[in-house]
Structure 1
Amino acid sequence: MTETTGHRTTRSAADPAEARKVAFAAFVGTALEWYDYFLYGTAASIVFDRLYFATEDAAVATLAAFASFAVGFLARPVGAVVFGHLGDRIGRRRTLLITVTLISVVTGAIGLLPDFAAIGVAAPLLLTLLRILQGVAVGGEWGGAVTLAVEHAPPEQRGRFAALPQIGSPIGTLLSSGGFYLVALMPDETFDAWGWRLPFLAAFPLLGVALYLRRRVGESPLFAELLAEHDRASMPALELFRRSWRQVLVGLAASLIGIGGFYLLTTFVISYGTNQLGLPKSLMLGATLVAAVVEIGTLLIGGRLADRFTPGKVCFWGGVVSALAAFPVFWAIDTRNPVLVVLAVAVGINCASVPYAVSGALLAGLFPVKLRYSGVAISSNLAGMVSGFVPLVASALLIASDEKSWSVALVLVALALATALGGLLALRLTHRDEVTVHS
Structure 2
Amino acid sequence: MTTTSITVTTTDARRIAVAAFAGTALEWYDYFLFGTAAAIVFNRLYFTTLDPVAALLAAFATFGVGFVARPIGAVLFGAIGDRIGRKPALILTVVLIGVATGLIGFLPDYAAIGVLAPIALAVLRLLQGLAVGGEWGGAVTMAVEHAPIEQRGRFAALPQLGSPVGTLLSSGAIALVLLMPPESFDAWGWRLPFLAAFPLLLIALWMRNRMEESPVFLELAKQADSMPKVPALVVFRRSPGRLLAGIGASLLGVAGFYIMTTFVVGYGTTTLGLPREWLVNATLIAAVVQIGALLICGRLTERFGAGRMSVIGGIVTAVVAFPVFWLIDTGEFLLIALAITIGTASIDIVYAAAGTLLSELFPPEQRYSGVSLSFNIAGAIGGFLPLIATALLGATGGGSWIAALLLVFVAALTALGGYFGGRLRIIDNVVSADRAGA
User: Could you tell me the TM-score, scaled by structure 1's length?
Assistant: 0.97
Instruction: Tell me the equivalent position of 1:294.
Output: 289
User: Separation in 2 of the partners of 1:235 and 1:50?
Assistant: 43
1:301-339 Cα deviation digits (max 9, x unpaired): 111111111100001000000000100000000011111
What secondary structure sits across from 1:13 in the alignment?
strand
Q: Is residue 2:27 matched to residue 1:28?
A: no
Deviation (angstroms), 1:55: 2.4
CA contact (8 A) 2:82 2:366 kept: yes
Counterparts of residues 345-424 of structure 1 (less than 5 Å):
345-424=340-419
What secondary structure sits across from 1:428 in the alignment?
coil
Of 55-64 and 187-196, deviating more is: 55-64
Of 187, 194, 200, the residue aligned with 2:194 is 200
Gaps of at least 5 residues in structure 2 are 431-438
User: Separation in 2 of the partners of 1:221 and 1:419?
Assistant: 31
User: Separation in 2 of the partners of 1:118 and 1:92?
Assistant: 42
Q: Is residue 2:318 matched to residue 1:328?
A: no
1:368-415 Cα deviation digits (max 9, x unpaired): 011000000011000000011010000011111100111111011011
CA contact (8 A) 2:357 2:422 kept: no
CA contact (8 A) 1:72 1:134 kept: yes
Q: Is residue 2:239 matched to residue 1:244?
A: yes
Q: Is residue 2:5 matched to residue 1:11?
A: yes
Deviation (angstroms), 1:9: 1.5
CA contact (8 A) 1:89 1:232 kept: yes
1:16-63 Cα deviation digits (max 9, x unpaired): 211111000000000000000001100000000000011241000000
What secondary structure sits across from 1:234 in the alignment?
coil
1:68-115 Cα deviation digits (max 9, x unpaired): 001110000000000000000000001100000000000000010000
Letter of the 1:427 partner, please give it.
G
Q: Is residue 2:107 matched to residue 1:116?
A: no
Instruction: Tell me the equivalent position of 2:303.
Output: 308
What secondary structure sits across from 2:3 in the alignment?
strand
User: Separation in 1 of the partners of 2:33 and 2:374?
Assistant: 24
Q: Is residue 2:50 matched to residue 1:82?
A: no
What secondary structure sits across from 1:402 in the alignment?
coil
User: Separation in 1 of the partners of 2:398 and 2:331?
Assistant: 15
User: Separation in 1 of the partners of 2:9 and 2:88?
Assistant: 20
CA contact (8 A) 1:369 1:434 kept: no
Letter of the 2:265 partner, please give it.
I
Deviation (angstroms), 1:353: 1.1
Of 109, 119, 130, the residue aligned with 1:125 is 119
Instruction: Tell me the equivalent position of 1:69.
Output: 63
Instruction: Tell me the equivalent position of 1:157.
Output: 151
Counterparts of residues 203-282 of structure 1 (less than 5 Å):
203-230=197-224, 231-282=226-277
Deviation (angstroms), 1:235: 1.6
What secondary structure sits across from 1:345 in the alignment?
helix
1:239-292 Cα deviation digits (max 9, x unpaired): 111111111111100111110000001001001111111111111000000000
Gaps of at least 5 residues in structure 1 are 3-7
1:180-238 Cα deviation digits (max 9, x unpaired): 00001111000000000000000000011011111111000010001123232222111
Of 111, 136, 139, the residue aligned with 1:142 is 136
User: Separation in 2 of the partners of 1:97 and 1:217?
Assistant: 10
Letter of the 1:259 partner, please give it.
V
**Could you list the runs of 4 or more consecutive aligned residues of structure 1 that deviate by over 3 angstroms after TM superposition?**
none
Instruction: Tell me the equivalent position of 2:338.
Output: 343
User: Separation in 2 of the partners of 1:183 and 1:238?
Assistant: 45
Q: Is residue 2:172 matched to residue 1:178?
A: yes
Letter of the 1:217 partner, please give it.
M
How many residue pairs align between the two structures? 429
Instruction: Tell me the equivalent position of 2:40.
Output: 46
User: Separation in 1 of the partners of 2:198 and 2:160?
Assistant: 22
Of 226-235 and 182-191, deviating more is: 226-235
User: Separation in 1 of the partners of 2:318 and 2:5?
Assistant: 39
User: Separation in 1 of the partners of 2:181 and 2:422?
Assistant: 53
Letter of the 2:140 partner, please give it.
V
Instruction: Tell me the equivalent position of 1:55.
Output: 49
User: Separation in 1 of the partners of 2:381 and 2:51?
Assistant: 27
CA contact (8 A) 2:13 2:146 kept: yes
CA contact (8 A) 1:85 1:237 kept: yes
1:133-185 Cα deviation digits (max 9, x unpaired): 11001100110010000000011000110000000000000000000000011
In angstroms, what is the RMSD of aligned CA positions?
A: 1.0
CA contact (8 A) 1:23 1:164 kept: yes
